[in-house]
Amino acid sequence: GESVGLHLPTLSVQEGDNSIINCAYSNSASDYFIWYKQESGKGPQFIIDIRSNMDKRQGQRVTVLLNKTVKHLSLQIAATQPGDSAVYFCAEKENQFYFGTGTSLTVIP
């Protein structure tokens, strides 16, 4: 089976700082990647996606970087806010999606 993992299970950052959440994937044939945010009691919420023919994509306050050489994905959140506190996980797709277990981000006011 596929293996999608996260380097750190928890991350604490000061409000206003930038956050970086990392994800390793194992399938070099994966061609599509998504970052999701999951708040307590809610379903995963789509944040940003990236296709394998790209190495960077930017959204509103978020940037996803893809390094296919080392099979690594990262999510950067600029000027982290208390509302960003949640579990973040990545998903990779070849024929179907495989999801990581997530990193819990805590923003300290």
* Interacting residue ranges for other proteins, rule: CB under 8 A: 4, 31-32, 34, 36, 41-46, 49, 51, 89, 91, 93, 95-102
Nearer to other proteins, 13 or 99 (CB): 99
> In angstroms, rounded to a whole number, what is the distance separating the alpha carbons of residues 57 and 40?
27
* 3-state secondary structure (DSSP) of residue 62: strand
Nearer to other proteins, 15 or 32 (CB): 32
3-state secondary structure 35-99: EEEECCCCCCEEEEEEECCCCEEECCCEEEEEECCCCEEEEEECCCCHHHCEEEEEEEECCCEEE
Nearer to other proteins, 60 or 96 (CB): 96
C-beta of 55: minimal distance to other proteins in Å?
16
Nearer to other proteins, 14 or 51 (CB): 51
**Residue 24 identity:** A
C-beta of 100: minimal distance to other proteins in Å?
6
Token pair, residue 54, equals 């790209």
C-beta of 61: minimal distance to other proteins in Å?
18
